[in-house]
Structure 1
Amino acid sequence: MSGKRTEHVVVIGGGVIGLSVAWRAASAGHRVQVVDPEPASGASFVAGGMLAPIAEAWPGEEELLELGSASLERWPAFADELSRASGLPSGLRREGTLVVGVDSADRALLDDLADYLARRGRTVTRLSGREARRREPSLGPAVRGGLDVPGDLAVDNRQALAALRAAATAAGVEFVAARAEAVRAGAVELEGSTVDCDVAVIAAGAHSGELHPALRGRIRPVKGEILRLRARSTALPPPSRTVRGPVHGRPVYLVPRDDGGLVLGATQHEVGFDTAVTVGGVRDLIADAEQVLPGIAEYELVEVRAGLRPSTDDNLPVLGWLEPGVLAATAHHRGGFLLAPVTADAVLALLRGGEPDALVKAADPSRWGGQQWTS
């Protein structure tokens, strides 16, 4: 593909990454098809929609922090462009994030995170429990401290997916309601038929590992259970910011929605492709969330679902050529929405025969020791 224009692109997967790539590629003049039996579903439909590279930073994952931070910087322009292209709201929320803890061990974790971020040149504001409640009055008395992370944003995942599908359709993307079984240079194999193409882009989430030999055994599903709540008229309103914790060492997050809704998540279990919601998972999420926001006991429980995060051993996505004619843009773990802008930009650069931003190279599949393809 190097040095010449890619005419026909087939994207396998219609989640946030696949739709972002398809929309941007079609807008750039490529003929684009998306292969997915149910676009805008799967893990993207279940997601909390946090855009939080700072709050989710972890020692040893510096490359992911840099990649996520670069993508977050692109989100406001990405959201504005998406709204114009689709005629729909992008779902971007700019209120920021509070990270809170309820015991001394949680406070120690927050101190460690703040110290680590300071060493990486990123500052957050440490808060006492009282200061945290001034920012979000619905926080309960169990909250003993926190961090204010105003730059970490959020997006209403379902609004964003609707806008991405509308923008892709307006740009001329064709949707093929079928399940891909294998991908090779020049072709995507479906049940009983084949779709020919110049370049195939694998963006099939947790199922990506089934589609190409270079991904086999590299991508695993991590199950996450999520609840959707809605404030009743007699209950305290949800927080304006995303609120997340450790709660007695367990991660929990609460992400507000415009309609009085609140997304509560998420468990993490490595149980293969099981998407059944468990009683224990729901119990633990509610118990931990009530420590942070006691008022949710009066909320309506609207929906209970589980999704499958596509994960790698180093938590970095897979972004680059698997062989000439086959690109991977997958395995974004918790960061599908966060990394959508930088992923779409990288794929466009590769389709043009160029190189993506240098920070994307950490996600190249050649990190596993194989050949680094350039086209």
Structure 2
Amino acid sequence: MRKRWLARPAVRPSESPDEPAVPGLSRPVAGLLRRRGFAPSDFERFLHPSVSDISPWNAVPGMENAVEAVLEAVASSRLVLVWGDYDADGLTAAACAALAVRAAGGESLVHIPNRLSDGYGLGRSAPGVCRAQGAGMLLTVDCGISAREEIAALETCGVRVVVTDHHDPAGPVPPASVIVDPRLHGVQEPWSVLSGSGLALQLALGLAEASGSKDIAPAALALACVGTICDVVPLTGDNRVIARCGLEALAEGAVPGLTALASASGLPPGPLSAADVAFRIGPRLNAAGRVGDPLDAVRLLVSSDPAETRAICGRIDVLNAHRRDLDRMVSEEATAMAAAEPDSPIVFLASRRWHRGVVGIAASRLANDLGKPVILSA
């Protein structure tokens, strides 16, 4: 594997603090934090974050309008259909948003498109799904910012659309009633790098505060923590606080389904690490989206029934074992095929034997091993 080392410039002695910026903080650690771009006033928040360090929910552009729109739907007894994505970030975001709407007194359902038959995002089936479910509002999480035509059709037929997304738009923004997307604002704020589940957390906090409903912060934090870590967004700003505080909420059993999933993955009770989430919990959630029914993962995340969570964990574990077998087969075959042309600057391989749900992770691993672009097609 060819590594590319990125070294940060050393801090000049004149820039190093003469005294620790935080009581008990050594000078080398303070210098390291400076090299990472932190001012002394930020040291405490970085080293010892608390929930109060998360940006206010209404600091995120558009979030006040989103909360107001959802509460209007709740007040008028309109069903809120939460439309998510099939990866861990999208699944946890969907569960978080659905629970928040219910806690505010509303009715919510979740729809997750099938990776193989529907593809990513809203797609042309969105209006039909909304009609079939009787939805008066469509709330997107971790998707929607590029679904201009679909959202225009929904708004035209009377379905209000609230978009929460953290991706760059592929073209002009859609004509949704409300759009929340930090990428549209081009600023560097603690909320700028929030994932889809991080935005769902802010929506949940806003709904709880504005409606005076039951506080779901521990569950929302735990869900956002899993989505944030698994989506590999930078663990800086609000994301670091969400990860740290969410891990504590996870250890306290804030989401019974995640507690059951951690146990099913072989993790002992007690504190969890980011690595536990990334390599034990996340792959199991993703397995449902890659080779199974992603709604099974959502059912797990919103359930408080021990029997139901155990049953779903059993199904997800079987899917995860199947996903590993498929991934191993694709990786081994692709590696052997790539070895036949070692001097090629790019690897482009295809096979009808491969499963579309795992070629992406296999391609990423092979690209990392070979140090060059890899495209795998199934």
Greater helix share, structure number: 2
Q: Please, what TM-score do these two structures have when normalized by structure 1? A: 0.25
Which structure: larger Rg? 2
Higher RCO (CA 8 Å, separation ≥ 6 residues): 1
Bigger proportion of residues as strand: 1
Q: TM-score, normalised by structure 2?
A: 0.25
